[in-house]
Structure formats: C-alpha cells, structure tokens
Chains A and B, each alone.
Chain A
Amino acid sequence: MKSQHHLNFRVRLFQCQIVCEIGNYGRKEIYSYNEAGGMRTRHIISIKDFDRDGIDRLLDQAEEIDREHGRSDALNGKILATLFFEPSTRTRMSFESAIARLGGSTLSVGSVDACSMAKGETLADTIRVVSGYADAIVIRHPKEGAARLAAEFSTVPVINAGDGAGQHPSQTLLDLYTIRQSMPIEGIDIALVGDLRYGRTAHSLASALSLYRARLHTVSPNGLELPETLAAELRESGMEIIPHDTIDDLISDVDVLYVTRVQRERFPDTASYFNVTSSYRITPEILTNAKKHLIVLHPLPRVDEIDPRVDDLPHARYFEQSRNGVPVRMAMLMEVMR
C-alpha cells in the first residue's frame, strides 16, 4: 500500500505535464520542474511549491550548514547569475555570499540600465542567453510571474528572489528558520503588522505557516489589509485569522511579531503617513506586555516601524533573521545546483 506521503505533484511547464513520484523517499517532491533535451531542471519559484516535509528538510540542511560554520566546497566552480531588475541589498548580497561560501562565483549584470533589457530585450531572451553563461539564475523582477516565465525559458535552475507583489520564497524560508531557532513552528501565534496588502513577504509567510497550524493575528492600516483572496485561501486551509485594531490588543497573545514596512507612497501625503506609522510602531513600552519568549522579526529595511531602542531587547531578532539569509540560501543553492 502506498504511503500517504506518496503523492503526485503536478506542474506544467513548456506546455507539458510532468508527474513526479518520489515514493522511495516517502515525500512529496517540492520543486517546479521543466524538461529540455531529456534533462530535468529544478527551480524554486513559490513557497507554495513546497510541502511541510520539503520546508523542514531545507531548514535542517541550513541548520547543518550553520553548525559547520557555513563553509563548504559543495559548489566548487559553479557560477550563479544574479539578475536583479529591482533594488536589493540583503537578498542579493546574501545569495552572493552563499555561493561564495560554497566555493562558487557570481555573475551579475550590475544595474538594469546596463543590461540589454534597457534596449527592449524580452525577459525570455535574456534568460535564454544567461542560461548559457551560468549554472543557476537568481532573479528579482517587478512583474508578478516573472520567475515562473524565467523557469520556462531557462535550461538551468531558477530561484525567485521576489517577483513584484508575488512570491519571495527565500525570505519565507529564512523567516521560518529564524522562528525555529527560538521555538517550534507548529501551532504558534504570529502577528503580521503593517502593509499586509502589498507585502509579499507577509503573504508568503502566511501561506507557509498554514502548513504548521499557526494562528494568524493581523494589524494593518485601513486599505492595507490582507487581500481577501489570500485570507479566504488561508481560512480554507484551516488557518484561523484574527484581525486586531491595535498592537496592544494582541501583544500578550502572540509568540512572534512580524513587522513589515508601510511604504510612504501608499498615502496621499506625508502627514497621514506619519500619523499611521506612529500607531504601528513597535516600542519597548509596547513590548512590556509581551510574552517573555516573543520574538520580533522584520524583513528589513526598516524605516520607522521599530524603535531603535528595541534593538537591545532580547525580543529583537531581525538582524539575526537577516544573517540567517546566508545559510538558508546556501541550502537552497545546494538543493538546486548539486
């Protein structure tokens, strides 16, 4: 009798349907695939491509890398192309650090203005060309679905480093990794604070946490609430979502406070922006009612959302979270490039 984990995972790329059965390993396969010339290429496009076993396995791998002080020659001689069509500091640098620590090197186009897309080249063509130069591609692009498109045209693995308001799976994995360093993820109460409408990190994290039976508390300015389609999807998966008006209302109930930046351009003027952000600001005073083990996370960069005085409290884990981007991304690169 087949085990309950012996599942089929269907993806459609290049207009073909591939059914992956990984029964021998007793787990659902976690990646998107495409096939070209008889070769199978793995990609990491969305956190939704993962099941819980897949996430846990990758986090275990990151933990092992961390224990070994983050150095290895597992990808010696391999080349990673970084295509960032939007600004990035942490994601880009931590991917570059990750490949360097694994013995590989990075190929980059520099700024968007310096590449052929500025001359009108399609992303599809860019990807076809870059596939010939590198062993894997990390892409950030302003359009949703861009990484999925890149995976269709690439002959090497593609990792999504953020596509518009869409997915950002590596951020979600490092968020989960940071939570797991402090507490078991299963059944946690987590508060998402800030821009929950456009914040892709919050969306991806909420989707992933639905696999861990987490309870979701939300606090956001009017008009920046969790999109209803996502909320419906999460509720359908069995997740309880509890909206709150203020951080004070939830602070004593949650294990994790996940704070996101509210962007100034979402507001008609600077005054209303500051008015809103001040009411969502995390301060030491607010945290006096928090559980002792509560951790504060933020994908960074922060602007005014977290008072710098919080940095010195044991709750603050956002710089640790940022550092965790390296072992987690090393684990991701090893999974798709080895």
Chain B
Amino acid sequence: MKNQETGDNEGLLVRRIKNGTVIDHIDGGEALNVVKILGITGTTQEALSIATNVQSRNMERKDIVKLTNRELSKEEVNRIALISPRATINIIRNFKVVEKKGVEIPHLIEGIVRCPNPGCISNTNEPIRSRFEVVPKGLHCCYCDWMITKDLTSNII
C-alpha cells in the first residue's frame, strides 16, 4: 500500500482509525507534548497511536497523533497551537475525513500551564486555575505578571 504522506511504499506506520481525531503535521518530536497538553494520560480511555519523526512533503519531519473515538473541541485544538502552530486537525467519521482544520493560537489559556513563579497565588491551594494571556513575547500570567518566554512544555501541568 502506498503511503500517502511520504509517497513511498512502506505502508502506513499507524493503522487508519474509524472514528476520532488525527492530529497531523505536528512539529517533529512534539507528539508527546501534544498528548500532554491535551491531558491524555494512562488513566484516560482513548486508544492512542503516535508516530514520530515521520517523513513529510511539507515539513522535514513531522509527528502524528491518532485518537480513537474522541473528537477534539475547538479549545483543545487551540492548545496544540502553543507547541505546534502548523498542526492540522482531521475529524474522522466512518474512516472518512469529515472536517479538516488548522489550529489557532488562543488568546487565553487556563489550567494548562503552571506559573513558574513560586510566589504566585496560582501555585497555592486557592480554588483557581492558572491563567495566562498569550502575548507576542510568550505567556503572561494574569495573576502575578510573570512571563514565560521559553521552555513552555516543562511548565505544562
């Protein structure tokens, strides 16, 4: 079977899914962070397939994540933009792509990233979720004004 992504005949690295979401064109090596930012862990129910460093026509290397029986919401999709802004989302129903869309960087992200400032009120037992405004320089903590300008993934909750 011809691989649609690489154009060669190695066959699909990961089997097609009947229903769910395929997150394609993830920057090479970022698939595990995408899974993390979506809050998918060993205790959640999704069947999950990951392919990393796959050859791509448009990108040097890309990752792919396939989630069976789960369609991502717009908010979940936009989280992915924080770590892989070129990613594309394919919603699959009965083996067919019924919706294909890009990701948009959200204006505000809540409960996904931990504020690195140990003195920030969001790092206490208060009943709030961390909240960051996405600005050109990075992520701005809405509580303590701390800026995350690099290494975002290590601060993902």
Hey, which bits of chain A sit against chain B, CB under 8 A? 12, 15, 46, 48, 122-124, 141-146, 148-149, 152, 163-167, 229
Residue from A15, A48, A123, A145 in contact with B144 in the complex, judged by beta carbons closer than 8 Å? A145
Known: A124-B126, A124-B127, A124-B128. A144 touches B121 (CB 8 A): yes
Q: Given the complex, which residues of A lie within 8 Å of B133, measured CB to CB?
A: 12
B119 contacts chain A at the CB level, 8 A cutoff: yes
A296 to chain B, nearest CB (A): 29
Residues of chain B lying within 8 A (CB to CB) of residue A229: 147
- Given A12-B108, A122-B127, A152-B128; A145-B147 close (CB under 8 Å): no
B122 within 8 A of A: yes
**Cross-chain contact B108 with A149 (CB below 8 angstroms):** no
List residues of chain B with CB under 8 Å of any chain A CB: 108, 110, 117, 119-122, 124-128, 131, 133, 141-147
Closest to A125 in B: B127
Query: What are 16 inter-chain pairs, A to B, with CB distance below 8 A?
Result: A12-B142, A122-B126, A123-B126, A124-B127, A141-B121, A143-B120, A143-B121, A144-B120, A145-B122, A145-B141, A148-B143, A163-B144, A164-B119, A165-B119, A166-B144, A229-B147
Give bound CA distance, A276 to B143, whole Å: 33
Secondary structure of the B side of the interface? loop
Smallest Cβ-Cβ distance to A11: which chain B residue? B142
Closest 4 CB pairs of A and B: A145-B143, A144-B144, A145-B121, A145-B144
Min CB distance A175 to B, Å, is 19
Cβ contact within 8 Å between A143 and B142 = no
Which residues of chain A are near B121, meaning CB under 8 Å?
123, 141, 143-146, 148-149, 163
In the complex, the chain A residue whose C-beta lies closest to that of B131 is A12
Bound CA–CA A265/B145 (angstroms): 25
Question: Is the beta-carbon distance between B128 and A149 smaller than 8 angstroms?
Answer: yes
How close is B118's CB to chain A, nearest CB, in angstroms?
10
Q: Which residues of B contact A148 (CB under 8 A)?
A: 121, 142-143
By the criterion CB–CB under 8 Å, are B124 and A143 in contact?
yes
Query: Is B147 in contact with A144, judged by CB distance below 8 angstroms?
Result: no
A144 pairs with B143, CB closer than 8 A: yes
- Known contacts A124-B128, A143-B124, A145-B144; A15 and B117 CB within 8 A of each other: no
**Residue of B whose beta carbon sits closest to that of A149:** B121
For the complex with contacts A12-B133, A145-B144, 19 further pairs of A-B residues with Cβ separation under 8 Å are: A12-B108, A122-B126, A123-B124, A123-B126, A124-B128, A141-B121, A143-B120, A143-B121, A144-B120, A144-B146, A145-B120, A145-B121, A145-B141, A145-B143, A148-B121, A148-B143, A149-B126, A152-B128, A166-B144
CA distance A148 to B120 in the complex (A): 11
Bound complex: CA of A123 vs CA of B121, how far in Å?
10
A139 CB to closest chain B CB (Å) equals: 11
A144 touches B119 (CB 8 A): yes
A57 to B120, CA, bound (A): 31
CA distance A143 to B144 in the complex (A): 9
Which residues on B sit within 8 Å (CB–CB) of A152?
128
Residues of chain A lying within 8 A (CB to CB) of residue B147: 229
**Of all chain B residues, which has the CB nearest A123?**
B126
Docked Cα-Cα span, A46 to B144, in Å, equals 10
Give chain A nearest CB distance to B153 CB in angstroms.
20
- State the CA gap A320–B38 with chains docked (Å): 56
CB nearest to B129 among chain A residues: A15
Residues on A with C-beta less than 8 A from B131 are: 12
Chain B nearest CB from A97 CB (Å) reads 28
**Distance A148 CA – B131 CA, assembled complex (angstroms):** 11
Instruction: Give chain A nearest CB distance to B143 CB in angstroms.
Output: 3
Minimum distance in angstroms from B125 CB to a CB of chain A: 6
B134 vs chain A, min Cβ distance (A)? 12
A142 proximity list for chain B (CB < 8 A): 119
Q: Which of B110, B122, B125, B142 contacts A122 (CB 8 A)?
A: B125
A12: chain B residues within 8 A (beta carbon) = 108, 131, 133, 142
Within 8 Å CB of B143, what residues of A?
Answer: 144-145, 148-149
Given the known A-B contacts A148-B143, A149-B143, A229-B147, are A143 and B119 also in contact in the complex, defined by CB atoms under 8 Å? yes
